Amino acid sequence: MNTITIRHVLPWMNIFFALLYLKECIIPGKEADVLHLQMVAYIPFMYVLWFCSAFFWNLFTKEKGLSRIFPTIFIIVLLSVPVGILLVSKDVFFSLPILVAVLEPLKNRFLFGSLETSLDSPKIFLLIASFVLLFAAALLSFWIGLQHEEYFFGFLYYLFLFFFETRWVQYVIGDQPQGDGEI
Protein backbone atom coordinates (compact mmCIF):
# COMPACT_ATOMS: atom_id res chain seq x y z
CA MET A 1 0.00 0.00 0.00
CA ASN A 2 1.43 3.38 -1.01
CA THR A 3 1.32 6.25 1.44
CA ILE A 4 2.07 9.82 0.50
CA THR A 5 4.46 11.51 2.90
CA ILE A 6 6.02 14.94 3.07
CA ARG A 7 9.17 13.39 1.61
CA HIS A 8 7.18 12.61 -1.55
CA VAL A 9 5.36 15.98 -1.74
CA LEU A 10 8.18 18.47 -1.06
CA PRO A 11 10.19 17.80 -4.25
CA TRP A 12 7.07 18.53 -6.30
CA MET A 13 6.68 21.88 -4.52
CA ASN A 14 10.11 22.72 -5.94
CA ILE A 15 8.71 22.14 -9.44
CA PHE A 16 5.91 24.58 -8.60
CA PHE A 17 8.44 27.20 -7.48
CA ALA A 18 10.60 26.55 -10.56
CA LEU A 19 7.62 27.15 -12.85
CA LEU A 20 6.64 30.27 -10.90
CA TYR A 21 10.15 31.68 -11.32
CA LEU A 22 10.16 30.78 -15.02
CA LYS A 23 6.85 32.62 -15.46
CA GLU A 24 8.27 35.68 -13.65
CA CYS A 25 11.41 35.49 -15.79
CA ILE A 26 9.36 35.73 -18.98
CA ILE A 27 6.34 37.80 -17.84
CA PRO A 28 6.93 39.70 -14.55
CA GLY A 29 3.79 40.01 -12.44
CA LYS A 30 2.69 40.83 -8.91
CA GLU A 31 4.78 38.06 -7.39
CA ALA A 32 8.01 39.65 -8.63
CA ASP A 33 8.73 41.69 -5.48
CA VAL A 34 8.29 38.73 -3.14
CA LEU A 35 10.33 36.39 -5.33
CA HIS A 36 13.11 38.96 -5.70
CA LEU A 37 13.29 39.32 -1.91
CA GLN A 38 13.54 35.55 -1.57
CA MET A 39 16.44 35.46 -4.02
CA VAL A 40 18.33 38.03 -1.95
CA ALA A 41 17.56 36.57 1.47
CA TYR A 42 17.27 32.85 1.26
CA ILE A 43 19.24 31.11 -1.38
CA PRO A 44 23.01 31.66 -1.43
CA PHE A 45 23.07 33.95 1.60
CA MET A 46 21.38 31.45 3.93
CA TYR A 47 23.86 28.68 3.12
CA VAL A 48 26.84 31.01 3.61
CA LEU A 49 25.52 32.15 7.00
CA TRP A 50 24.83 28.57 8.04
CA PHE A 51 28.33 27.48 7.01
CA CYS A 52 30.05 30.39 8.81
CA SER A 53 27.89 29.87 11.87
CA ALA A 54 28.69 26.16 12.05
CA PHE A 55 32.40 26.91 11.68
CA PHE A 56 32.55 29.56 14.41
CA TRP A 57 30.26 27.70 16.84
CA ASN A 58 32.54 24.69 16.36
CA LEU A 59 35.60 26.82 17.16
CA PHE A 60 33.82 28.28 20.18
CA THR A 61 33.00 24.86 21.66
CA LYS A 62 36.53 23.49 21.12
CA GLU A 63 38.50 26.45 22.48
CA LYS A 64 39.17 27.17 26.16
CA GLY A 65 39.86 30.39 28.05
CA LEU A 66 41.08 33.47 26.16
CA SER A 67 41.21 31.62 22.84
CA ARG A 68 37.38 31.78 22.81
CA ILE A 69 37.56 35.53 22.14
CA PHE A 70 38.18 35.13 18.39
CA PRO A 71 35.17 32.88 17.62
CA THR A 72 33.02 34.88 20.06
CA ILE A 73 33.62 38.08 18.08
CA PHE A 74 32.58 36.37 14.85
CA ILE A 75 29.51 34.82 16.48
CA ILE A 76 28.45 38.28 17.67
CA VAL A 77 28.98 39.64 14.15
CA LEU A 78 26.94 36.77 12.67
CA LEU A 79 24.13 37.39 15.17
CA SER A 80 24.17 41.10 14.31
CA VAL A 81 23.49 40.37 10.61
CA PRO A 82 19.80 39.43 11.07
CA VAL A 83 19.37 42.19 13.66
CA GLY A 84 20.82 44.73 11.21
CA ILE A 85 18.58 43.43 8.43
CA LEU A 86 15.58 43.73 10.77
CA LEU A 87 16.48 47.34 11.62
CA VAL A 88 16.98 48.27 7.96
CA SER A 89 14.07 46.37 6.39
CA LYS A 90 11.65 46.57 9.35
CA ASP A 91 10.43 43.13 8.25
CA VAL A 92 10.47 40.28 10.76
CA PHE A 93 9.63 37.65 8.15
CA PHE A 94 12.65 38.75 6.11
CA SER A 95 15.17 38.63 8.98
CA LEU A 96 13.84 35.72 11.07
CA PRO A 97 14.98 32.93 8.68
CA ILE A 98 18.46 34.48 8.63
CA LEU A 99 18.56 34.37 12.44
CA VAL A 100 17.44 30.73 12.32
CA ALA A 101 20.28 29.91 9.89
CA VAL A 102 22.81 31.51 12.23
CA LEU A 103 21.46 29.69 15.30
CA GLU A 104 20.92 26.29 13.63
CA PRO A 105 24.27 24.77 14.71
CA LEU A 106 23.50 25.79 18.31
CA LYS A 107 20.07 24.14 18.05
CA ASN A 108 21.75 20.98 16.76
CA ARG A 109 24.12 21.07 19.75
CA PHE A 110 21.25 21.20 22.25
CA LEU A 111 18.99 18.70 20.47
CA PHE A 112 21.49 16.18 19.10
CA GLY A 113 24.61 16.77 21.20
CA SER A 114 26.65 17.83 18.17
CA LEU A 115 26.89 20.98 16.08
CA GLU A 116 26.44 18.96 12.91
CA THR A 117 23.82 16.39 11.98
CA SER A 118 23.59 13.90 9.14
CA LEU A 119 21.35 16.41 7.36
CA ASP A 120 24.13 19.01 7.19
CA SER A 121 26.34 17.37 4.55
CA PRO A 122 23.86 18.06 1.69
CA LYS A 123 23.86 21.74 2.73
CA ILE A 124 27.51 22.11 1.79
CA PHE A 125 26.74 20.60 -1.61
CA LEU A 126 23.75 22.95 -1.98
CA LEU A 127 25.94 25.92 -0.98
CA ILE A 128 28.37 25.16 -3.80
CA ALA A 129 25.55 24.37 -6.24
CA SER A 130 23.71 27.62 -5.48
CA PHE A 131 26.75 29.70 -6.43
CA VAL A 132 27.41 27.62 -9.56
CA LEU A 133 23.76 28.04 -10.58
CA LEU A 134 23.91 31.77 -9.83
CA PHE A 135 26.89 32.12 -12.18
CA ALA A 136 25.25 29.91 -14.83
CA ALA A 137 22.00 31.87 -14.62
CA ALA A 138 23.86 35.16 -15.06
CA LEU A 139 25.70 33.85 -18.13
CA LEU A 140 22.62 32.28 -19.71
CA SER A 141 20.52 35.38 -19.01
CA PHE A 142 23.16 37.53 -20.69
CA TRP A 143 23.33 35.26 -23.75
CA ILE A 144 19.55 34.91 -24.05
CA GLY A 145 18.95 38.59 -23.27
CA LEU A 146 16.74 38.21 -20.18
CA GLN A 147 16.31 41.27 -17.99
CA HIS A 148 15.51 39.41 -14.76
CA GLU A 149 18.37 36.97 -14.24
CA GLU A 150 17.46 36.50 -10.56
CA TYR A 151 14.21 34.83 -11.59
CA PHE A 152 16.04 32.62 -14.05
CA PHE A 153 18.36 31.68 -11.19
CA GLY A 154 15.30 30.83 -9.08
CA PHE A 155 14.01 28.62 -11.88
CA LEU A 156 17.33 26.77 -12.20
CA TYR A 157 17.75 26.49 -8.43
CA TYR A 158 14.33 25.01 -7.70
CA LEU A 159 14.60 22.70 -10.69
CA PHE A 160 17.94 21.53 -9.28
CA LEU A 161 16.36 21.07 -5.83
CA PHE A 162 13.64 18.92 -7.36
CA PHE A 163 16.21 16.55 -8.83
CA PHE A 164 18.37 16.73 -5.71
CA GLU A 165 15.53 15.80 -3.35
CA THR A 166 14.05 12.94 -5.32
CA ARG A 167 15.00 9.43 -4.39
CA TRP A 168 16.51 8.87 -7.82
CA VAL A 169 19.22 11.48 -7.23
CA GLN A 170 19.79 10.25 -3.68
CA TYR A 171 20.35 6.81 -5.18
CA VAL A 172 22.80 8.20 -7.76
CA ILE A 173 24.90 10.07 -5.17
CA GLY A 174 25.21 6.96 -3.04
CA ASP A 175 22.31 6.99 -0.57
CA GLN A 176 20.44 3.77 -1.34
CA PRO A 177 16.63 4.17 -1.25
CA GLN A 178 14.77 2.34 1.47
CA GLY A 179 11.81 0.03 0.88
CA ASP A 180 10.61 -1.30 -2.42
CA GLY A 181 12.38 1.33 -4.55
CA GLU A 182 9.25 3.17 -5.69
CA ILE A 183 9.64 6.80 -6.61
Q: How far apart are CA 178 and CA 167, in angstroms?
A: 9
CB 14, CB 161: distance < 8 Å = yes
Q: How far apart are CA 157 and CA 151, in angstroms?
A: 10
pLDDT over 70 (residue 31)? no
Q: What pLDDT, in 10s, does the model give residues 67-118?
A: 677 777 777 777 787 777 777 767 665 666 667 667 776 666 666 566 565 5
pTM: 0.48
Of the ranges 77-91, 117-131, 157-171, the best mean pLDDT one = 77-91
Residue in 32, 14, 11 with CA at minimum distance from that of residue 23: 32
> Across the chain, which distance is largest between two alpha carbons, in Å?
59
